Amino acid sequence: MRTNTVFALTLSLPLGLALGLACESKPAAPAPAPASQPAAFTPKPVKLKDSSLPVLSPAQPVASLAGPLDAALADYLVLKDALVRGDETTARAAAKAAKDKLMTAKATPEVDATWTAQAKVIGPALDAMIAEGSTLAVQREQLSPLSEGLFTAARSFGAGKGLNIQYCPMALNNTGAYWLSKEREIANPYYGAMMLRCGGEVARLGPAEEGS
């Protein structure tokens, strides 16, 4: 027997967003172990207010950070797609490539504290994914802090324009988790084929594409 549950999400971001999300649950669906979420993301049940897709404006680009972040985000998208397919080998290689790109990032004194705070979230997540013997379950668990750290850094330093922020309320033992995607169609990296379309869009980073 299948049940449909409607969830909604509020982000503690400047726009005060609210978006209803629906997932189809499967009784036997296992989930990875829960992971803690940074305070910038606070999912909780709310009434459906607005089903439109908000657009979050990034800050002015910081060249020494935006370039490496955009390069790392390209690897992140490869990693995310690998997790959708359940391909831990490709996910590990993409995590290593993303870390290499981020090693070239140079923060100016004005933004050093902000960058350091996000690097402390992003770095350990990538290291856990890269570690020899890291499993698909570990990689999916670490995708949550990695996604949130990269999103916060991208928005802070003018990178990642056009990426969609997506959310699954059932991920990580029903605590909920985010990911970034170039495509608007949901392809859930936390469950893969088991619940491929579980989740919904939360917002888009940067200007909306015409016709989207």
* CA 117, 112, 146, 13 torsion-angle sign: positive
Strand partners, 110: none
Of all residues in the chain, what percent carry a pLDDT higher than 90? 61
Please, which pLDDT band fits residue 103 given cuts at 50, 70 and 90? very high
Average of pLDDT values for 111-136? 95
Q: Look up residue 143 and give its amino acid.
A: L
- Residues with Cβ < 8 Å from 16, sequence gap 6 or more? 10
Per the prediction, the chain carries an average pLDDT of 78
- Entry pTM: 0.75
Which pair of tokens denotes residue 49?
A: 């207010």
